[in-house]
Amino acid sequence: GLTEPQAREKGEKEGFKVSVAKTSFKANTKALAENEGEGIAKMIYRPDNGEILGVHIFGLHAADLIHEASNAIALGTRIQDIKLAVHAHPTLSEVLDELFKAAKVESHATTKTVSEKVAV
């Protein structure tokens, strides 16, 4: 993904707004239980359509967490869709859950519709 300066430059050139959402590991029970509350996660995104432009994670097991965001970017998954994903509790993956839910996407942005419900 892109860094915030890269995303802002792209937004300026292509005419779209860029927003940032952040969350702290201090809000995560698993990180606190492991005495590792000193991390942050940051997402750069387009509020007009929910496109994730970049995600940065610093903290406990960041390398284990970034794959979810990387896959979302690679697959073109929008925030309004991925924030519906279930994250087990208590796990560090809830840091991303909170990050996706912290993003403010404009109400006119659409979500992908699923034609058939699948039991999991």
Positions annotated as catalytic residues are 89
CB atoms within 10 A of CB 99: 26
CA-nearest of 92, 71, 67, 93 to 81 is 71
Euclidean distance between CA atoms 42 and 57, whole angstroms: 6
Joined together, the tokens standing for residue 46 give: 């387009």
